[in-house]
Amino acid sequence: MNETGTTEALVVSVCRAAKAAAPALARAGTLAKNAALRAMSEGLLSRAGFLKEENAKDLEAGKARGLSAAMLDRLLLNDARIRQMADGIGEVVSLPDPVGGIGRMERRPNGLLVGRMRIPLGVIGIIYESRPNVTADAAALCVKSGNAVVLRGGSEAIRSNAAIAEILRGALSSAGLPVDAVSFIPVTDREAIDAMLRQEESIDLIIPRGGEGLIRSVVEKSRIPVIKHYKGVCHIYVDETADIDPAVRVCVNAKAQRPGVCNAMETLLVHEAIAPTFLPKVAEAMTGAGVELRGCPETVRRVPGTTPATDADWGMEYLDLVLAVRVVPSMDAAMEHIRRYGSLHTEAILTRDHDRAMRFLREVDSSLVLVNASTRFNDGFQLGLGAEIGISTTKIHAFGPMGLEELTTSKFVAFGEGQVRQ
């Protein structure tokens, strides 16, 4: 058997094992799942030494391969980060279990009582890149929602990920749940991803988490439904009626509070009627927060010294202390800009005009649309989901933050008394 054949056979067997484990996990009660999660959390802490040892090998290999300091930092597992992973799992224990509830029960004219029961999706495949904590976070959410999971992490973190997976599997076993409910693909060649994306008989949903290249390639090759967690090119539109000081505060928060994340603002759109008063103030505050502005000609005129924006600045996800600024003649022009350059992630309007607020909310097609608040609220914890596996920018199945409920689906159930179809 050649190399490719070996990888394929391995991936097939890992995915089939997860599928075989899925029914037992789907049937498992909340108490058993919580016991497994507690054992996972405790296992990560009690085996911190082992985790740091395995992580050290990844770091060493990364240095030898010339990874950047930022990349090495993402890889690093220290006591604080191990504690964070363990605490994260502990929080999932306290979330309500969505599985098994029946909603919308109604009696049909023929007496049949029809409802929808929430059920796990089955097997979820997670394809991710360098951060090893994803192994623990994603597995915990999948287990709590009754799903088996197949994890395929990046090559840089292979030893750390394998060590975490080993601990999580031990915890499942100690709680009487099938170990293969958390399955890990221990090979990191590209062919492993391609083979995984062909296992439509075993995997029900693929969630890729990573850069644009990874996500595009997964979407192109997958035979399994994919929920993209794609880039965030988030906009704030400052309407002519906005209150200036609160608007400045919200904009600075959206851009500068944590610029490296997907819900940070990347482009500021300003109504031309408020530009003369708002632009100088927001520019001063942004500069004070270390933000570099790239402006349209009108912005450059109003705020001398601003770098002129090029076409490439519109729609750019900087993930950095850089902000594109454009003056627009109307809210329609702002919405047209968002339609053209946005990524369906998060947009906000700042206004005192009720009709415009409601129209923006209705017509802008993003996973979260806000009135008078920072884009930084697009997050499962902030929106009340309790936890999230990521933020979907795919409209199918779940749009926006995905919590436990979004990792489930529902089937129809019906109670009859011998009803037949006429």
Distance of closest approach, residue 159 Cβ to its own copies, in angstroms: 33
Instruction: Write down the residue that tokens 């599928």 correspond to.
Output: 19
Exposure of 226 in the CB half-sphere (CA atoms within 13 A): 20
Site for its own copies in 169-188 (CB under 8 A): none
- List phi, psi (to 5°) of 390: 150, -175
The nearer residue to its own copies, 27 or 63, going by C-beta atoms, is 27
- Residue 368 within binding range of its own copies, rule CB under 8 A: yes
Phi, psi of 149 (to 5 degrees): -135, 140
Q: Minimal distance in Å, beta carbon 59 to its own copies?
A: 32
4 binds its own copies (CB under 8 A): no
418: contact with its own copies by CB under 8 A: yes
Q: Is 212 in the site for its own copies (CB under 8 A)?
A: no
Cα separation of 72 and 245, whole Å? 40
Which residues pair with residue 340 across a beta bridge? none
User: Judged by CB under 8 A, which of 367, 390, 402, 403 binds its own copies?
Assistant: 367
Q: What is the DSSP letter of 229?
A: B
Contact 117, 411 (CB under 8 A): yes
Pick 311 or 417: Cβ nearer its own copies: 417
CA–CA distance, 207 with 194 (Å, rounded to integer): 14
Instruction: Label the pairing between strands 113-120 and 102-107.
Output: antiparallel
Q: Decide whether 122 or 315 has the Cβ nearer to its own copies.
A: 122
Count of residues near its own copies by CB under 8 A: 71
Site for its own copies in 118-147 (CB under 8 A): 119, 121-122
- Nearest distance, CB of residue 163 and its own copies, angstroms: 31
Q: Tell me the CA distances in angstroms from 189 to 60, 186, 221, one per residue in order.
A: 19, 10, 15
CB of 193 to its own copies, least distance (A): 16
In whole angstroms, the minimum distance from the beta carbon of 398 to its own copies comes to 8
Question: Distances from the Cα of 33 to the Cαs of 123, 174, 381, 408, in angstroms?
Answer: 16, 11, 21, 15
Site string for its own copies, 280-319 (x = CB under 8 A): ----------------------------------------
Asked if 355 and 331 touch (Cβ cutoff 8 Å), the reply is no
Under the binding rule (CB under 8 A), the answer on residue 321 touching its own copies is: no
Per-residue x/- marks for its own copies, 369-388, CB under 8 A?
A: xxxxxx-xxx---xxx----
Helix (H) or strand (E) holding 83: helix 79-93
390-392 and 400-402 strand pairing: antiparallel
In the complex, the smallest distance separating the C-beta of residue 39 from its own copies, rounded to whole angstroms, is 25
Span 21-80, contacts to its own copies by CB under 8 A: 23, 26-27
Choices 30-38, 84-92, 295-303, 409-417 (CB under 8 A): range interacting with its own copies: 409-417
| Choice between 57 and 107, CB closer to its own copies | 107
The stretch near its own copies (CB under 8 A) out of 176-184, 207-215, 230-238, 393-401 is: 393-401
Closest distance between its own copies and the C-beta of residue 75, in Å? 27
Helix/strand/coil for 200: coil
Please give the Cα distance from 356 to 238 (Å, whole number): 11
